[in-house]
Amino acid sequence: MTRLFLKDPLAILEPAAAGGIVVENGRIAELVPAGGAPAAPVDEVFDCSRHVVLPGLVNTHHHFYQTLTRAHPDAIDKELFPWLQALYPIWARLDEDSFRQSVRLALTELLLSGCTTAADHHYLFPKGLERAIDIEAEEARALGIRVTLTRGSMNLSQKDGGLPPDSVVQDEDDILADSERLLNQLHDRSDGAMVQIALAPCSPFSVTKSLMEKSAALAERFDCRLHTHLGETEDENRFCEARFQCRPVDYLEEVGWMGPRTWLAHGIHFTSEECRRLGAHKVGVCHCPTSNAVLASGFCPVSELEAAGSPVGLGVDGSASNDGSNLMEGVRHALMLGRLRTGSASAVTARDALRYATSGSAACLGRADIGRIAPGLQADLALFTLDELRFSGAHDPIAALVLCGATRADWVMVAGRWRVVEGQPVGIDIARLRAEHGAAARRFG
Ligand SMILES: [Zn+2]
């Protein structure tokens, strides 16, 4: 067992570790105070004097496949419903090869931005892509990044009053059988798990009530998390009022999802009373500031949700509405949007925005073993330098990461192993990945 000492960081998000961290057996073994030394001998020393050290960032909402349809001429400059309607038929062309490229590219981008755990919401299973979640697990294992893979679903198409066309939905029985297969094969509930499965019917306007209820029952049986899009647009409110005669949060309660097992993507159009109800039931919310700004969806009431008791995490959302997979950019956008929404420059600090992306996100995923720098937790760390011109003259190194706009980590560790070394992902040829993914994306033009 090697004991690695990450020594004398330029700055670190955990004040008790100002002198560094000792990593052993994939975990954080010891925090060293400023000017101190490890309690026991170490085998290796990594000089952190040029590095700002953060807990690895945790992305709680993404659609990896959407990296294939970024800045698509049919979809740009549209709001959510017309944006989706333009893209559904294009996404129906997804096949195994292009999907694998999209997953590899999205995970690599995330790692390079300092992300060590990623949740993907995958709900498209056209013929031939039945193994989508299996492919995601294979790619994540190869890269060494931790994942929560959600078995998404859509079963309410246009002919039944939903938004998506028939070509992209599945039958309820097929969805539930595959969900059960994946939970049996891939869902690891142990401490330090590298792959977990969650269930994720897509949204109120693409899924039946019955599938929402049965997914909740299955999640209870297998002790996994539940995820869906909720409260993203006023269009969704109108849809719920017309179809279910209630608002999205009432609908959530009606289908048995109001509990700590659930985390929601977006959570924008909630009243103060709805925030209090969600908080009282510890429902998590993934804030997606970049996507919300691009689609002009609105502002997530982050402070109200946190004050009410909801964990709030951060997500990049799909790469067709972002149009990137950079979680550090999301941290900066969370700060900016939070200040704009409240009209207060002190409402969201750099450390608040980093909290959403670390401990807040970990809580959304139901994980106590990641998201903080503390003894016994997984050694998931992101190290940034302040060497670029944009940081020159900055005084508070942690605030500088957010305010000066850090986008690229220098070294990234997952479960005690370096997965990004000197800004390069381990085991990935970036030029080759760019060429192969670019070629795969051409069929979606
Ligand atoms: Zn989404």
For ligand 1, the distance from its centroid to the CA atom of residue 22, given in whole angstroms, is 37
- Asked if 212 and 205 touch (Cβ cutoff 8 Å), the reply is no
Q: What beta strand segments (E) does 269-368 contain?
A: 284-287, 312-314
DSSP annotation of 165 = -
User: 319 alpha carbon to ligand 1 midpoint, in Å?
Assistant: 9
Distance 427 CA to ligand 1 centre (A): 29
The answer to whether the CB of 54 falls within 8 A of the CB of 114 is yes
In whole angstroms, how large is the CA radius of gyration of the chain? 21
Q: Measured in angstroms, how far is the CA atom of residue 230 from the centroid of ligand 1?
A: 10
Q: Which residues pair with 421 in a beta bridge?
A: 424
Q: How far is the CA of 150 from the centre of ligand 1 (A)?
A: 12
Q: How far is the CA of 30 from the centre of ligand 1 (A)?
A: 38
Beta strands in 203-281 (DSSP E): 225-230, 262-266
CA–centroid distance, residue 28 to ligand 1 (Å): 33
Instruction: Tell me the residue type at 108.
Output: T
CA distance 15 to 361: 20
Whole-number Å distance, alpha carbon 121 to ligand 1 midpoint, is 7
Distance 228 CA to ligand 1 centre (A): 8
CB atoms within 10 A of CB 369: 18
In the reported structure, the alpha carbon of residue 320 is separated from the centroid of ligand 1 by a whole-number distance in angstroms of 10
Q: How far does residue 128's CA lie from ligand 1's centre (Å)?
A: 23
- Work out the number of other CB atoms within 10 angstroms of the CB of residue 166: 11
| Token pair in block for residue 46 | 């990594």
* Tokens read off for 346: 């002190």
**Residues 374/30, Cβ–Cβ less than 8 Å:** no
User: CA separation (Å) from 22 to 154, 229, 393?
Assistant: 46, 39, 30
Ordered by where they begin, the domains of the chain are: 3-54+378-425 (2.30.40.10), 57-364 (3.20.20.140)
The CA 35 to ligand 1 mean position distance, Å, reads 45
Side-chain-side CA neighbours of residue 147 (13 Å): 33
pLDDT in tens, the chain (445 residues): 799 999 999 999 999 999 999 999 999 999 999 999 999 999 999 999 999 999 999 999 999 999 999 999 999 999 999 999 999 999 999 999 999 999 999 999 999 999 999 999 999 999 999 999 999 999 999 999 999 999 999 999 999 999 999 989 999 999 999 999 999 999 999 999 999 999 999 999 999 999 999 999 999 999 999 999 999 999 999 999 999 999 999 999 999 999 999 999 999 999 999 999 999 999 999 999 999 999 999 999 999 999 999 999 999 998 788 899 999 999 999 999 999 999 999 999 999 999 999 999 999 999 999 999 999 999 999 999 999 999 999 999 999 999 999 999 999 999 999 999 999 999 999 999 999 999 999 999 9
CA of 361 to the centre of ligand 1 (A): 15
Distance, CA 201 to ligand 1 centroid (Å)? Answer: 11
Q: How far does the centroid of ligand 1 lie from the alpha carbon of residue 104, in Å?
A: 19
317 CA from centroid of ligand 1 (Å): 5
- Residues 334, 402 contacting (CB under 8 angstroms): no
Quick check: 146 and 382 in contact, CB under 8 A? no
Whether the CB-CB separation of 420 and 414 falls below 8 Å is answered with no
